[in-house]
Amino acid sequence: MLKPPIRIGVSACLLGQSVRYDGGHKQLAILQQEIFQSFDLLAICPEVAIGLSVPRKPMHIIVSANEFRAVQIQNPSLDFTDQLKQYALKIASESLHGFICKSRSPSCGYLSTPVHSEVKPELGSGIFAQQLKDYLPRLPMLEDTDLSNNAACRLFIEQVLAYFHAQK
């Protein structure tokens, strides 16, 4: 029987792709398990997609003129914000039904990313993840760290299925 084309975007490093700034990955075992086998998991690395190398110098989120910006830590004049936002727009048109985000990432983090501000340090979302949510507010999104919680994992899958059926 053909699988229904339910597509979940996943931060590529969680699927074992060695795309992190340090050349490593953060493979998440649960994504290999049966519960996710009926979905089409689409590996997405926004930082590689905008042309950055592996390895690369790390970036972080700062606040500038009241906006979150993703800049290289060593050289803050290198600002990747606009490219990451543009890439999110492209991914928003890829018929995804959910997204699993790498926590704390300046690109992929969803509500867990450290924001460096002179006023007060806080947590926010990575530029790519926030822009994707802005384009598709109802797209189910959660982070790798939430998948260890069975209830959160089940709820996410229910939300993905509901979103898929709502799109048909």
Alpha carbons 17 and 13: distance in angstroms, whole number: 5
Contact (CB, 8 A) for 124 and 134: no
Contact code string over 12-51 relative to ligand SF4, x by CB under 6 A: xx-----xx------------------------xxx----
Considering beta carbons, is residue 105 or 130 the nearer one to ligand SF4? 105
Q: Minimal distance in Å, beta carbon 119 to ligand SF4? A: 26
Question: Cα 49–157–1 angle (5° rounding)?
Answer: 90
| Token pair of 119 as six digits | 């006023």
Alpha carbons 162 and 20: distance in angstroms, whole number: 32
* Span of 6-14, 56-64, 68-76, 114-122 interacting with ligand SF4 by CB under 6 A: 6-14
Alpha carbons 136 and 110: distance in angstroms, whole number: 14
Contact code string over 54-73 relative to ligand SF4, x by CB under 6 A: --------------------
Provide the binding-site residues for ligand SF4, judged by CB under 6 A: 11-13, 19-20, 45-47, 102, 105, 107-108
